[in-house]
Structure 1
Amino acid sequence: MDIDDELRKLFADDRLSVPVRPAADRVIVSGARRIRRRRAGAVFGGGMLSVATVLVAGTAFGVAGDAPPRTPLAAAESSGLTTTTESPSLSPSTIELTTSVAPPPTTTQRRTTTTTPPSTTTTSATPTKAKPPTTPLAFGPTAVGSLRLGMTVDEAVAAGVIQPVTPPPAPVAGCQGYDWLGHTAAPSTSPLLFSPTLGLVRIGGRADAETPEGIYAGSSEEDVRAVYPNQAKPHSGTNEWVAPVPGNPSANYWLVLSKHTVTDVRLELAAQDCYQ
C-alpha cells in the first residue's frame, strides 16, 4: 500500500471527526457581538481620556492664550474630514488624573532690631547760682548806706536805720548787738555790732548786700576765691572766708558760707575787741 492510500485511510477515520455543538452559530454570533462592544467601549474610553487631557491642558496653559485653535467636531464632519484615534484598551477605572501643586518657595526673612540706648541725663551737683539783687546795697569799702565803721550807737540811732535786738543777745566782751530797722535777723545773730571802745565794728545781715567786686548773698565759694584769693589772716571758721577790703586796709570782708554758697556779706573792722 502506497502513501496515498494511507493518507486517505487516515483522514477517513471517524476518530478525527469533531462533533458540532448544538446552537454553535448563535454562540459564534454572540461572541462576535461581545467583541464589538468591548472594542467600542475601549474607543469611547480612549476618546474620553483624550477629551479630559485636552481640558486639563487647556486649563493649565489656556490662560496665557497660547493654545492653538481647535476645529469643532461638527465643522470637521461637515468638511468631510475623518479623524481616527487609536487608543489602548484601557478601562476608565484605571485612569487616574493627578494634579501636583508646587509648594510656595520658602522665604527666610531676617529681622534686624536696632536698640537705641536710653538717654542719660547728668545732673550737676553744683548748686544753682542765685541772681544778684535787683537793687543792691553797696557794702564797702568804708560804709554801708548811712552807716560807717567806727560810729557810735547814738550816731547810728540818730540815722534812723537801726533798732535793738529783741530779745537782746548776751553781750560779747561788752559789745552790744542791733538789728536793721525793718530787717529783723535771727535772735542768735547781731547784724550790727557795737564795741564800747571802737564803736560800730560789724555791718551785715542784709539780703541785698553786694560788694563793689560783685560778691553777694548767693555767690559760689568758687567765685569768692576767684575775686578774693587771699585771706586777711588765718581763720578757724571753716564756713567763713575773711578777705581784705580793696581800698580800705582797716576793714575786712567776712563772707559766711553754707554748702559752698555765700549766705551773708559782712563789712568789719580789721582790728576789733568783740571777738577774734
Structure 2
Amino acid sequence: MNLEEELGRLLNDDRLDVRARPDATEVVVTGARRVRRRRTAVVGAVTAVALVASGWGVTALGGSLSLPSVDPAVLPTTTITTMTSTGGVTAAPPPHTVVETVTVSVTKEQARPNVGYGAVKFGMTEQEVTATGLVTRAPGGECAAFTWTSDPGIANAVLVGRGRGVVRIELPATGTTSKGIGVGSTLERVKAEYPTGQQAYGGGSYDVVMPGDVAWKYVFALDAERVVGIRMQRLGADCAQQGEQR
C-alpha cells in the first residue's frame, strides 16, 4: 500500500471524527459577550477615575456619578510653615517699623484792619506810613510821630506805637468821618449820627467806641458844643505822653 492509499484510509476512519456540541454556537457567542462586557467595564472605570480627578460628572454603567460642588468663594488652601534656625536658635521676626508723627502748628497771620483815614491805616509800620506820601516825619517820643504834609499844624497827627503800628490818627482840619462829621459840626448832630457815644472830661469831648473786630474809638474834641478836632484812636494805645491820648 502506497502513501496515498494510507492517507486516504486514515481520513476516512470514523474514529477520527470530532463531533460538535449541539449548543456550541451559543456557548461561543456567550463567551464573546462576556469578554466584551469585561473590557467595557474596565474602560468605564478608568474613564470615571480620570473624570473624577478633573472635576467632571460622569454617567457610567446604569448609574450617575458626579463630584461634590465647590463654593467658589471658599477655596481650599494649603499653608506651609517653614522655620529657619541657625545653631539651634530660631530666627526672630523683623521688628515693627516705628512711625513718628510730627504735628506742626501754623499760626495764620492776622489780617491788618482796613480802618484809617485815606491811605493811612491802623497797624501800619513807620516805613509803610512814610511810603503813603501823605505825612512828614516829626520829632517823636515813645512813639514815632508824623504830621500831615497838607496840614503840618497838627502835631502828632499820626502816631506809630512800638510793635503795634499806627495807633492814632488825627484827621486834618478838612477831614470828615464816613457820616460827614467834621470840624465845626454841632454836638447835637454828632449825637444824632453816633448815639452810642458818651461825653467825657467834663464835656470837653464826645467819645464813640466803634463796633467791629478792631478795638478803636472816635474822640470828638468839643468847644462850646462844637467839634474842634477829630481823632481815631486804638483802645489801650501807649502814646499818652504825646498829646492827649484818652
TM-score normalised by the chain length of structure 1: 0.42
More helix as a share of residues: 1
Larger Rg: 1
TM-score normalised by the chain length of structure 2: 0.47
More strand as a share of residues: 2
Higher relative contact order (CA 8 A, sep 6+): 1
